[in-house]
Structure 1
Amino acid sequence: MIYALIETSLTMSLIIALVLVFHHFFGDKYAAKWRYYIWFAVLIGLLLPFRPDFEHPLAIKAPVASESVIPAPTADVSDSMSKEIVATTPNQEIATSDFWSVPLIIFSIWLAGFIIFLAYNVWKHYRFLHMIRRWSDPVTDKAILTLFEKEKETMGVASKRIAIHMCAFEISPMLIGFRKPIVLLPNKPIDEEELALILRHELVHYKRKDLWVNTLLLLVTAIHWFNPAVYVMGKAVQNDCEESCDEALLQGADIEKRRRYGEAIIGLIRNKDVRRTALSTNFYGGKGH
């Protein structure tokens, strides 16, 4: 089983490299959403590392001898067999030593890494939620709430219960929460037009279920924690997710609206260090992106 995992991880590393090269040279030739969908297919391939080994239908099995054909052992043969069994009994220690085989040792190392990686990220997520509960408050500004409801209606999610909070510490706008989704905003002045674009950006994430894709990415990274290519892929997935979201948001927009949106992003990335969690969206993919 562990060898199947390693083999799959190495094979998918080659596919990840090919996809990265293809996106680098031809990514601007097609919509960002297709790059995002391609990564989703790669994630599924990485999530299913264990493939069943089906026996070939035409395989011919060796005939099994019938018990009736085997003659009963004579007394002398029985005595000699008993002596052999008694003689080999001490060798049970060899079988016990074989318990810690190489595959089991490798599997134990992988399992430890899987548990540590997943536990750390889950702990980090819940620590972030605790900070949010302590340092954020529901938005009470009627103008912002009215704008938010307007954007929800525009995105076709007016009936969904999505909260909007203002956070006291440095964050980028983000969507967080599966059962009770919350749009988090930094506690800083934002122009109304820019705020409308920011809110719509997070609502696009909500409508596309991108939080679940982030969960899938976290699980895949935990399974393949030993593979550096998976971490490179993770950054590419997040960047293409944000870019495809921007693309959906600005579809049909004129140059002025695009300029204002760009200014909104530039205004937010001046903050070098912003807190986030793996199970949240992010308004931008970093300064380089």
Structure 2
Amino acid sequence: MLGFITSLFEVSLGCSIVIVGLMLLSPMIQKHYGAKWKYWIWLLLALRLLLPFDTPILEGYDIELPKITMIRNSQAQQVSPFNAGQSGMPFQIVDSHIQKTTVNHQTLYTKSEPITIKEVLLYIWVGGMLLYMLYHLMAYRYMRHQVLRWSRPITNGCMLEEIDKVTTHMHITKHIPCYICEKVWTPMMIGFIKPVLLFPKGDYNKTQLHYIMKHEYMHYKRHDVWYKLLLLMVNGLHWFNPLVYIMRQHATKDIELCCDDDVVKGCTFEQRIQYGKTILASISEQQKYPMALCTYFNQGKKMVKDRLGGIINMKKRRNGMVLFGAFGICTLVISGLLTFDHVTAKQMDIDIMPEKKPVATTTDDTATDDTTIEDSHGEVDPVAMDRLTNAVLSNDIRYVKDVIEEGNLDLNIQDSKGRYPLAVTLIMTNCDMAKLLLHAGADPFVTTSDGETIYDQAMATDSKYFIEIFKQYGIHAKSEEVKDNEGGQHYFTTTTKEAVEFYIKALLESNYEAIYAISYGSEYHTDGQDIYDTIQIKSVKLLHGETRGNKAYYSLELDISDGGNSAFETGIFPRWLYLNKGEQGWYAEGLMTSGAPDDTWWESE
């Protein structure tokens, strides 16, 4: 939804440029072209503004995930929502030097995130849109109620005869009730599904009735009231843009001019003069502001000059299809260019990133930040890496595929400007390229020069596609494959902090695959995700933790709003996450219910 706000402003800005251009060129063009070409241009702009989406064009690679496997550990039993009791397995006691580290702190993890500027803009936009639409819809409902309340059926025989004559001539088969109403100042048609034609109280001669009826029924045949509803919806969607208000005013004017053109089509000059006189006679001193969702025979003195000029103009004018095509292309191109303008800016930011040396990662929690290591992949060809990242930037999928198939270049190293190919996909919002690189072994947990991992950056984007892709691949990256009949791939962390944060994040997201991935030695449940889909965890509070050598535990407090089909109960309950460190790194032994571990567990291997 936050990405929608960005697209909304971009499309609104792009279409505003077209609106300004159209208004500037209209006086020069309208002498040679009828109003119909602008009628269709406004419609195209309205549809573009109504659908400000930029759906990514995905080529849809068929990427098979590696089989998820595991090794069963006969001496470990995970305590989870599938088995709520504390493990009671025997432990082997060994003599060893134990390094003890105790952590005392409280950290609350919740599903809610800090409100961003985009979220504030979203709330403001939604509030403004609702107020705008509510005002117009309530005003329309009130007006309809008032005019129908003070209306009476037409009983004048001449008026009824003329109504039948015009409807037959214009092939109007639907019965549209006609009333005399003291609350209206000009003939108008109101209603969408059940339209009603209203006349103000007064005397009309036969000629006036003919042109009034023909004008209003022409609005009905052209579905102009639905066009006005579309314009109102667009104005409500872009209530913050003053040019959209101006667009709706001009479009409403061109709707009337187009209707006049259709009414006088094939008429003589004398008949056009009679039509113009009818418009002048309908001007009322009592005129009010016209409602947005009605058609009017006369919308005010300001429009009379333009309408009369178009009516008496006997010169044959072009239909403007070429102009329509030109402005249509401009609308799509300009709004598209502005949509992707921010990509160029972000790309420039990347290009000037300072080159940084890789930081060493070890399996020891005491590793220092200033330790550096040599690249373990041997000599790096900076030219080849530059070509690869540039291919990602230019969406050259064929070249990236060729590089991957050759296997001569590590996807997890930086080019000469400190860029990772996978990180570049975030800047370009290229989901297909991200899937391709992840499947080929690109590491989403590599830390970029801004201090964040690519995975964290992906989770912070507004793209739900990126979030799902990285969720799918993220838990499998940087992990060791261990296979058995069940299937599963495990994820090991270099520090206990990473392990507990990974586990808590998986709990809040009800992501069973992630919980299983970090729980090395746990039993795999084929219906695990189905069960976790029924669990709702509001928050997880990290109370304290303790680390001794290759073992650690963390005390958690879970606020569970719905235990679903699991062993979890509703309410706030303490849990204890047991961690072990193996050859590959830290992993979770289980989420226990019976409390902190005793000395027997600490002393076991």
- For the criterion TM > 0.5, the same-fold answer is yes
Does 2:179 align with 1:179? no
Aligned to 2:216: 202
Aligned to 1:137: 152
RMSD over equivalenced CA pairs, Å: 2.8
- Contact 2:184–2:199 (Cα < 8 Å) also in 1: no
Q: Sequence identity of aligned pairs in percent?
A: 31
* Cα distance in 1 between the residues matched to 2:217 and 2:250: 21
* Cα distance in 2 between the residues matched to 1:285 and 1:258: 19
Aligned to 2:242: 228
Q: How does 1:111-150 map to 2 (within 5 A)?
A: 111-150=126-165
Bigger Cα displacement from structure 2, 175-184 vs 237-246: 175-184
- Contact 2:185–2:286 (Cα < 8 Å) also in 1: no
**Aligned pair partner of 1:90 in 107, 119, 127:** 107
The CA deviation string for residues 91-130 of structure 1, in whole angstroms up to 9 with x for no partner, is 648x85x431111100000000010000111100010011
Aligned to 1:15: 18
Does 2:30 align with 1:27? yes
Residue ranges of structure 2 left out of the alignment (5+ in a row)? 74-97, 304-605
The structure carrying a bigger strand percent of its residues is 2
Aligned to 2:552: none
Bigger Cα displacement from structure 2, 167-176 vs 199-208: 167-176
- Contact 1:5–1:50 (Cα < 8 Å) also in 2: yes
The residue type equivalent to 2:212 in the other structure is I
How far apart are residue 67 of structure 1 and its match? 7.5
How far apart are residue 68 of structure 1 and its match? 7.4
Aligned to 2:272: 258
How far apart are residue 57 of structure 1 and its match? 6.6
- Contact 1:172–1:268 (Cα < 8 Å) also in 2: yes
How far apart are residue 16 of structure 1 and its match? 1.1
How far apart are residue 270 of structure 1 and its match? 3.6
- Contact 1:174–1:280 (Cα < 8 Å) also in 2: yes
SS in 2 for 1:90: strand
The residue type equivalent to 1:28 in the other structure is K
User: Under a length normalisation based on structure 1, what TM-score does the superposition of the two structures give?
Assistant: 0.85
* Cα distance in 2 between the residues matched to 1:269 and 1:230: 28
The CA deviation string for residues 41-74 of structure 1, in whole angstroms up to 9 with x for no partner, is 111111101221334679xx9xx999879xx9xx
Q: How many residues get paired?
A: 274
Larger radius of gyration: 2
The residue type equivalent to 1:42 in the other structure is L
Q: Tell which has more relative contact order, 1 or 2 (C-alpha 8 A, sep 6+).
A: 1
Does the C-alpha gap of structure 1 residues 276 and 131 become closer, same or farther in structure 2, counting only changes over 3 Å? farther
Superposed structure 1 runs of 4+ greater than 6 Å apart: 64-69
Aligned to 2:433: none
How far apart are residue 134 of structure 1 and its match? 1.5
How far apart are residue 192 of structure 1 and its match? 1.4
Aligned to 1:49: 52
* Cα distance in 2 between the residues matched to 1:130 and 1:170: 12
The residue type equivalent to 2:107 in the other structure is P
**Aligned pair partner of 2:203 in 179, 189, 195:** 189
- Contact 1:171–1:276 (Cα < 8 Å) also in 2: no
Aligned to 1:108: 123
User: Under a length normalisation based on structure 2, what TM-score does the superposition of the two structures give?
Assistant: 0.42
- Contact 1:170–1:271 (Cα < 8 Å) also in 2: no
Q: How does 1:139-178 map to 2 (within 5 A)?
A: 139-157=154-172, 159-178=173-192
SS in 2 for 1:11: helix
How far apart are residue 284 of structure 1 and its match? 2.9
- Contact 2:42–2:251 (Cα < 8 Å) also in 1: yes
* Cα distance in 1 between the residues matched to 2:160 and 2:37: 33
The structure carrying a bigger helix percent of its residues is 1
The residue type equivalent to 1:177 in the other structure is G
* Cα distance in 1 between the residues matched to 2:272 and 2:184: 25
* Cα distance in 2 between the residues matched to 1:90 and 1:169: 66
The CA deviation string for residues 181-222 of structure 1, in whole angstroms up to 9 with x for no partner, is 111111111221011101100000001111110111111111
Does the C-alpha gap of structure 1 residues 67 and 26 become closer, same or farther in structure 2, counting only changes over 3 Å? same
The residue type equivalent to 1:90 in the other structure is T
Does 2:52 align with 1:37? no
Does the C-alpha gap of structure 1 residues 139 and 275 become closer, same or farther in structure 2, counting only changes over 3 Å? farther
Bigger Cα displacement from structure 2, 215-224 vs 20-29: 20-29
- Contact 2:38–2:254 (Cα < 8 Å) also in 1: yes
**Aligned pair partner of 1:286 in 300, 308, 315:** 300
Does the C-alpha gap of structure 1 residues 141 and 120 become closer, same or farther in structure 2, counting only changes over 3 Å? same
The residue type equivalent to 2:281 in the other structure is G
